[in-house]
A and B are shown apart, each in its own frame.
Chain A
Amino acid sequence: MPQMNMVQAINDALRFEMRRDPRVVVLGEDVGKVGGVFRVTQGLFDEFGDDRVIDTPLSEGGIIGTAIGMALYGLVPVPEIQFSDFIFPAYDQIVSELAKFRYRSGGEYPAKIVIRTPVGGGIRGGHYHSQSPESQFIHVAGLKVVCPSNPADAKGLLLASIRDPDPVLFFEPKRIYRAAKGEVPEGDVTVPIGKARVVRSGKHLTLVAWGAMLYEALDAANQAASQGIETEVIDLRTLWPLDIDTIVESVKKTGRVVVVHEAPKSCGFGAEIVALVNEKAFLHLEAPPLRITGFDTPFPYTLENEYLPLSHRILPGIVQTARY
């Protein structure tokens, strides 16, 4: 199997699916000749031409609205929003139109598009290039939300997203675009949407993470092991629909749960996960569930490594929860 980073794996998935299915088109700011601001669509323009790899003006509402219309006509658009911080001009289209098409047509006519967008901190982008808005989309019934942590999952989940009948938001953690490397299966290999993965098993505590923070969670778990705490680490991979069964099964074994995410704590996705654990495994809990997250502030330029829930913030949380 070839070694790839996240950028290469996502590019590979797009190329594979565009070769397979002429209905698939890519559109967005700089996605054509430039190959995207992070070069994720590099080379697609040369292979598929400007009617399938479409440069757009800066017009997020127009991009998503147009993609919805394309989908209604039977195309499979994969629009790119250059940074997930720029998605808000299109928020109305996503929330008011995209998420509601299946509903408004009595369940018969989904507007199926995959919105790819880089997410999260780690490149010192400050408050307009670092945010993690996933919970603002999970809260909207009708959208699926995916966030891979490694190249193989990125390719497999993107292929699955493009073929999924529902609209999907595909968040790409930009901090690990090039840092995460690994073997990626060649050809048509999908990873199912809605399935989490236990990436480290342990009996004392369940640690839930996704995207770039998975590596911080693993780092903290390894450090905790030296203090005799065996942490089970779950990579959600798909945020919605949530694989709550995998989490609950783990919590029933460990009795303790810690959730890590970059987004601010209040009403972040960790709140939903903790609520579900309380509902489904309350009598198994040995300690209060804990969230280790970004702060309820804009994402800072300086202090980025304090804002992000890096391993140095996760480790004390693990120890505190394990020893409660």
Chain B
Amino acid sequence: MTTLDTSDELHLKLYRQMFLIRRFEEEAARAYAQGKIGGFLHLYIGQEAIAVGAHAAMRQDDYMLTTYRDHGLALARGMAPRAAMAELFGKVTGCSKGLGGSMHFFDREHNMLGGYGIVGGHIPIGVGTAFASKYRGEDRVSMVFFGEGAVSIGDFHEGMSLASLWRLPVVFVCENNEYAMGTPISRTLSVADVSQKALGYGMARERFAAESVIHVRDRLRAIVDRVRETSEPTLVEIQTYRFRGHSMSDPGKYRTKEELEERKRKDVVLRARVELEEKGQSEALERIEKEVEDEVTDAIRFAEESPEPGPEILAPTTYTGAFAR
């Protein structure tokens, strides 16, 4: 077991990552409303403690894969806000040269192996990276995120089944935000406890709420350490809540204002800030927030000023040879 860092310094670092995700996405939402970002934009606002806590529980050489709600994990992993924002704007300087957009971030350098737009499609892929780690005698862990809406899809079960059969070092993290698009979990699943899905595969399971980023880090670190040591997979259900709609086009009318307001009172970002203030870190907080504001402003400017890719960029992205016939 590794000893856990509980210093204010670490807490500030995690707060900084969460605050960056929050401010990055708020500005992305503004740019979307201005028509600068096209297509779909799924915001992670409200769930930040999970990506940031999970990143802190993992090593940088571990692999992490997630859903189309992927900005948070990419930034937590270390993707530059410039590359992330430029991707949203469809610019050639984006993490996937503007070819993927919001739902399909990809960052090989930071071992963030993608956001995936097909629900559940990435789950067996994370099983494959875990297989390769074991095959090569390495101890890198794979972590796959998905929502509770994905656990009814075949890929989830096939991935779980193979991971357990082959005893692979993979952590399946279900971010249960209670709504599969607009449908509550009570109407999509026969059980309220998603972690029960592990039972049929003889897999270890854990279940907790994302109360704070430190809490998420602590719980996941213990799980990741165990998975790394034993090469036994685990299904983890983390209860959370998103403050925005499923995507920008979703006004979220399927839940009451009261429900939303109550959840917002438990905001993990605000909560971390209050705790750090109480510990006398006001000055550090202000400095961090100023830095993040500058970084996000810079990312927006960078994205706006970057060029769009030309059609010639498509050729080497499909086959080794030319794509056009």
Contact = CB atoms under 8 A, between A and B. Distances in A.
A62 B127 contact: yes
Nearest to A69: B128
Contact of B127 (A69, A92, A106): A69
A59 B129 contact: no
A57 B126 CA distance: 18
A97 B106 contact: no
A255 B142 CA distance: 58
Contacts of B155: 61-62, 65, 92-93
Interface in B149-192: 154-155, 158-159, 161-162, 165-166
Interface stretch (B131-139, B214-222, B263-271): B131-139
B131 A70 contact: yes
A38 B297 CA distance: 61
A244 B325 CA distance: 10
Interface in B26-64: 63
B108 interface: yes
B14 interface: no
Interface in B100-124: 100, 104, 106, 108, 113-114, 116-118, 121-124
A67 interface: yes
Interface residues of B, number: 48
A102 interface: yes
Interface residues of A, number: 42
Contacts of A68: 124-125, 128
Contacts of B122: 65, 97
Interface stretch (B224-232, B242-250, B315-323): B315-323
Which of A64, A67, A72, A73 has the largest count of B CB atoms less than 10 A from its CB?
A73
Interface of B: 63, 95-97, 99-100, 104, 106, 108, 113-114, 116-118, 121-133, 135-136, 142, 154-155, 158-159, 161-162, 165-166, 313-314, 316-321, 323, 325
The 7 tightest CB contacts between A and B, nearest first, are A69-B128, A65-B124, A62-B158, A73-B132, A106-B97, A66-B128, A107-B317
25 contacts: A57-B162, A57-B165, A62-B124, A62-B159, A65-B124, A65-B158, A66-B124, A66-B125, A66-B131, A66-B162, A69-B125, A70-B135, A73-B128, A73-B131, A74-B132, A75-B131, A92-B118, A92-B121, A96-B118, A102-B318, A102-B319, A103-B318, A104-B100, A164-B320, A244-B325
